[in-house]
Amino acid sequence: MKSASRLHARDFISRSAASGRYHFNSSDAQDALGVSAAATKLALHRLSKQGLIASPARGFYVIVPPEYQSLGSLPAEQFIPALMERLGQPYYAGLLSAAQFHGAAHHRPQEFQVMVARARRPIVCGVVRVGFVVRKKIASVATQSFNTPRGTVLVSTPEATAIDLVGYHDHVGGFDQVATILGELVDSIDPEKLVAAAETAPVPWAQRLGYLMDQAGADDRTGPLKAYVRKHARSTAVLLPAASQQDAVRDDGWRLSINVTVESEL
């Protein structure tokens, strides 16, 4: 009886993979197997022990093809879209992960970074790690689709990525890392779209980004953003609020107090 159940479960995932579907819910498996929830759980546990499937989230499974056996999971970008659809939550790949899609990640991210509307616990599935970062006004952030072997994934545009990198600099290794990435990202940034991206975030983010882009030698792309800052910045912002402001230097163009030295690796 156990052997028949296990064979049926293997057949279920084989057929799913053959049809191009590499993720499923526990209820999908139960319906296909025609057994109880307990028997389904046991069958899926056996497949998981064999490395044939993995479970990034409760009740949600991914089929692990041979090329990803060493990961113990599908790569995050191949299952996050399906997971977020299942949860009914908006998302996009952001920060270092977005920079990587745009060819601007100086170092490979240690985790796949996903921007979400509500806080979620990180995912560890095999060696695949996913970190979630809460983004206000997430519905207003510009995204674009990138193809993956299992479909598509939403990624913040270069302009939205630049804004987020500054706003969430503590999630990417600090402003030195931000400056390094911006140095590789600036050629993809459209000045007008950058202003639209700035409108989805606090004005100080735009002030800091403009300064860092100028430092990266991209002052030819910051004109519209500077006009936006002059119109909307009501006070002088601080580059790094957590650091001392002693001996800070004021940048009048960006209405910014420069209280730390930022060094790019480029």
3-state DSSP assignment of residue 225: helix
Residue ending a domain, choose from 25, 52, 68: 68
Q: What is the pLDDT of residues 171-217, one digit of tens each?
A: 999 999 999 999 999 999 999 999 999 999 999 999 999 999 999 99
pLDDT at position 1 over 90: no
Q: What is the CA 104 to chain-centroid distance, rounded?
A: 14
3-state DSSP assignment of residue 60: strand
Per the domain annotation, does 264 fall within a domain? no
Per the domain annotation, does 113 fall within a domain? yes
Which of 6-10, 45-49, 71-75 has the least mean pLDDT?
6-10
Q: What is the CA 190 to chain-centroid distance, rounded?
A: 21
Say which CATH number the domain at 30 has. Answer: 1.10.10.10
Q: Over the chain, what is the mean pLDDT?
A: 94
In this structure, the strands spanning 128-134 and 123-125 are: antiparallel
More confident residue, 105 or 89: 89
**Of 130, 49, 59, the residue nearest 91 (C-alpha):** 130
When divided into structural domains, the chain yields a total of 2
Per the domain annotation, does 177 fall within a domain? yes
Q: What is the pLDDT of residues 8-30, one digit of tens each?
A: 899 999 999 999 999 999 999 99
Q: For residue 47, what pLDDT is reported?
A: 96
Q: Are residues 210 and 82 in the same domain?
A: yes
d(CA 74, CA 83): 12
Per the domain annotation, does 198 fall within a domain? yes
Which of 26-30, 66-70, 101-105, 160-164 has the least mean pLDDT?
101-105
Q: For residue 107, what pLDDT is reported?
A: 72
Q: What is the pLDDT of residues 105-140, one digit of tens each?
A: 777 789 999 999 999 999 999 999 999 999 999 999
Amino acid of residue 254: W
Residue 214: which residues within 8 A CB-CB, separation 6 or more? 222, 253, 254
Residue ending a domain, choose from 31, 50, 68: 68
Q: Which residues pair with 24 in a beta bridge?
A: 61
Per the domain annotation, does 141 fall within a domain? yes
How many other β-carbons are positioned within 10 Å of the β-carbon of residue 239? 24
Q: Give the structural domain span for 250.
A: 76-258
Residue ending a domain, choose from 29, 48, 68: 68
- Provide the b/e sequence for 182-193 (b: ≥16 CB within 10 Å): bbbbbeebebee
Say which CATH number the domain at 101 has. Answer: 3.30.460
Per the domain annotation, does 263 fall within a domain? no
